[in-house]
Amino acid sequence: MYERPHEIERPIDDTQDNFAFHPKNIYLSLLLFSLSMLFLAMTAAFVYTRVQSDLPPIQLPVLFYLNTIILLASSYTMVSAKRAYLADNTRQYQRMLWYTLYLSLFFMAMQLVAWYQLFSQQIYVNSDNSAGYLYVISALHFAHVIGGLPFLGLFLYRARKYMREPVSVLVYFSDPDKRLNLRLLTIYWHFLDGLWIYLVIFFLINQLLWQAI
């Protein structure tokens, strides 16, 4: 591996200046806005139907809280991968991408276990409205984590393919398009993290309010 190929001067990168107006940034902004509205609408519908049906909210399994820590860790490793990319640190860059992938897969495995815990308590998606919304909302978030994995895998594949000799390493690290894509992927990962925290806090507040009334 080659850590910092300084032999050739990098081309001027105007990605930072044009980032806000780049089509990829606009597409991602529209996607994140749509997802935000979708989850806000679903959580609002959850409150409405729960109140109308006079049903208690489902108590979240402990693994939902553990998954919050796992996602926070994956956000940290994504940030570390981005910093390593900007520092031309090939080994750290690839290592942090692998850690992000492992943590994402770990999150998915723990989420499956959390659903199994609900099943073992005979709480199914068709048990009542509260259970149905919990499964659907958490499954939607789960699906969007899966949706980000191919892009993460593509970064890993390209890093392993092109980071083999000084010239290819320099070209890889100097590519404004790769830098932009990594930045967009990092934003998407942070969004999933923030969305999960919102959902956990939302269900927790519903549970505490029900107990207080």
Contact in structure between 71 and 192 (CB atoms under 8 Å): yes
State the pTM of this model.
0.85
121 pLDDT exceeds 70? Answer: yes
At the fourth CATH level, which superfamily is domain 66-212?
A: Cytochrome c oxidase, subunit III, four-helix bundle (1.20.120.80)
CA–CA dist 34, 134 (Å, integer): 20
Residue 134: pLDDT band by 50, 70, 90 thresholds? very high
**pLDDT number for residue 6:** 45
For the segment 45-82, what is each residue's pLDDT rounded down to a tens digit? 999 988 888 888 788 899 999 999 999 999 999 999 99
Residue 19: pLDDT band by 50, 70, 90 thresholds? low
For the segment 22-45, what is each residue's pLDDT rounded down to a tens digit? 788 899 999 999 999 999 999 999
CA–CA dist 16, 54 (Å, integer): 51
CA–CA dist 33, 77 (Å, integer): 24
Query: DSSP string of 86-113?
Result: HTT-HHHHHHHHHHHHHHHHHHHHHHHH
**pLDDT number for residue 9:** 46
Domains in the chain: boundaries? 66-212
Percentage of the chain beyond pLDDT 90 is 55
Which whole number is the average pLDDT over 189-208? 94
For the segment 91-107, what is each residue's pLDDT rounded down to a tens digit? 899 999 999 999 999 99
